[in-house]
Amino acid sequence: MSEKVLSITDDTFEKEVIKSDLPVLVDFWATWCRPCAMMAPLVDEMSKEYAGKLKVGKMDIDNNTNIPSELGIMNIPTLVIFKNGEESDRIVGVVSKSQLQERIKRVIS
C-alpha cells in the first residue's frame, strides 16, 4: 500500500472521510479477495495521480464491520467516493483505470 493511501477503520471513518475537506475514495476490501488484489495497484496509483485533490483510503471489511454494514457494502471490491461527507459514487467490482479516472473526475471537478 502506498504511503499516500490511508488505512481507514470504523473508528477513524468519520474524521478521515465524513469530515474531510477533500473528496475521499474508499476501497472496501479483504485480504482473501482476489479481485481486491487486482484493484489495489490501481487504487495506489489514484492516490498519487490525484494527490492534493482526492484522499484515498482502504478499509479492510474483515477488521471493520460497522461502517461497511451501515453503507450496505455487499460485494468487494467496492470503491465509494465521498464528497462533503456524502456518498457521491459507488463502483462495485473490477474496473479499468480509465473507468475509475472518469468516475473520480466527475466528483472532483
Per-domain boundaries in the chain: 5-108
Q: Are strands 78-83 and 24-29 parallel, antiparallel or unpaired?
A: antiparallel
* Marked catalytic residue, from 17, 36, 43, 61: 36
CB atoms within 10 A of CB 19: 11
pLDDT tens across 63-107, in order? 999 999 999 999 999 999 999 999 999 999 999 999 999 999 999
26 phi and psi, to 5 degrees? -115, 125
Q: Say what the pLDDT of residue 16 is.
A: 97
Q: For residue 2, name the pLDDT band (cuts at 50, 70, 90).
A: low
Q: Say what the pLDDT of residue 4 is.
A: 86
CATH H-level, domain 5-108: superfamily: Glutaredoxin (3.40.30.10)
Q: Say what the pLDDT of residue 1 is.
A: 57
Q: Please list, in sequence order, all residues whose beta carbon lies within 8 angstroms of the beta carbon of residue 103, skipping any fewer than 6 positions away.
A: 81, 89, 91, 95
* Marked catalytic residue, from 5, 24, 33, 56: 33
Cα 42 from chain centroid (whole Å): 11
Closest CA to 7 of 28, 22, 21: 28
Query: Residues 35, 91: contact at Cβ < 8 Å?
Result: no
Report field, pTM of the whole predicted structure over 0.75: yes
Clarify whether 36 is annotated catalytic: yes
Whole-number percent of the chain with pLDDT over 70:
97
- pLDDT of residue 3 exceeding 70, the answer is no
